[in-house]
Amino acid sequence: MAPSADVAAPAPTPPLAPLIAAQLKFLLTNSSLPIKVVQIWSGCSSGRYADRFTLGIPFCLDYVYWDFLYNAMHPKVAPDVIFGQGDEGFQPLVDYDESGNGGKSCLAHWDYRDPRGLLCLVEELRLLYIEYQKKLVEKVDDARLKFEISTVLAKEGIEVSVVSSTGRSDEVKFAVPLLDLDLKMMVPGCPWKLPQKIHLQAIFPSFFSVDGVKLPAWVDGMCMAEYIPTLEEDLKLQVVDASASIGCRRRFIEALAPAFGRPLEADPIFCRKATVLSISGIFTFLVHFVIPLQFPKQQPILTLQSCQHCNSQGIPITSSPKNSYPWSPRWEVTEMAERIYDYLADECQNFKKLCSDGFPQAK
């Protein structure tokens, strides 16, 4: 149904003023953090240019959302900043003024011709916000928490925040950086643009569980300062194993070519999936490989898909996932591929019969 002619469509958001757009573009291109733009709008309903936006700033493995308010009529002036709900006590510029350190702020030397201005401002405010949250955490009246803080707060890069909840006492969230390595450098061809780091997230008094990662046991009476070194050693081994597993999966995919021909599709980075085209007589079908993270301890899951048979909805018929074929993690990848080929030589006949009997083709 078409909208009523007397209902006005929302006006499109005008572009940012050029000087402001240059600042934002530089921020998003050069920041070492995954900052995201949530919304852009104009402070004037009939303005030619937009002049304000909300940014999602990474903090403590989450985001805080701040509004940056420029003035399109005076784009040479530095923006005002409105911080998130619940952060009324965070007034960094007032604190600067009261301490007599206002001259140290990048706002004291704002130059609209320098595209780095917004980036410097965001980085400055984020560092001040980290210190502000640390002071809030130190005020929480809990002896065990104060002890934990005293043992780990000096660790470089740690971030903490107070999580307020209605009807219960405040919680404290920790984000502790682990392992001095960049995962991006360990995965050739990965799509990550920014360095990838591992953090431990904990909400006092309990730790978060992490899917796919086996954490060391937490022993009664242990503190975080004791737990973190053990955790880092375990994670280092898991990262090395995961990196080696990518190479092993890649060699397996390469080994499919002599038996099946060159794969039609393959995951070139993490090597988790591949698809080959197979023919048995006049029956043509695809074989989809899903290669588990635990490869070669766990064998690939195979799914057959007919190129000639569809169900009543016009969707190609596929088999159930198969992983009960002969397998040994001690085989060379060439033997693994050959054994799968031999298995499929028989299995494809069962699949062909299923396709023909269950979904007869129209004649």
Quick: pLDDT tens for 84-117.
888 888 988 776 666 556 567 888 888 888 899 9
Residue 316: how many other CB atoms lie within 10 Å: 14
Span 267-302, pLDDT tens digits: 888 889 999 999 888 889 999 999 988 888 889 999
Inform me whether the pLDDT recorded for 35 exceeds 60. yes
- Tell me, what amino acid is at 329? P
Give residues with Cβ within 8 angstroms of 153, minimum separation 6: 134, 160
Q: Which domains, from first to last, does the chain contain? A: 13-124 (3.10.110), 249-358 (3.10.110)
Grouping H, G, I as helix, E, B as strand and the rest as coil, residue 174 is strand
Give residues with Cβ within 8 angstroms of 170, minimum separation 6: 140, 162, 163, 164
Inform me whether the pLDDT recorded for 316 exceeds 60. yes
Looking up tokens 């990196």, which residue turns up? 243
Residue from 57, 60, 223 nearest 157 by CA: 60
Residue from 243, 144, 230, 240 nearest 188 by CA: 243
Inform me whether the pLDDT recorded for 209 exceeds 50. no
One DSSP character per residue, 5-51 reads TTSPPPPPPPPBPHHHHHHHHHHHHH-SS--EEEEEE-SSTT-SSB-
| Mean per-residue pLDDT of the chain | 81
Strand ranges across the sheet with 316-318: 265-266, 273-280, 283-290, 301-310, 316-318
Q: Respond yes or no on whether the N-terminal peptide bond of residue 296 is cis (omega within 30° of 0).
A: yes
What Rg, from alpha-carbon coordinates, does the chain have?
Answer: 29
Span 242-262, pLDDT tens digits: 777 888 899 999 999 998 999
Grouping H, G, I as helix, E, B as strand and the rest as coil, residue 323 is coil
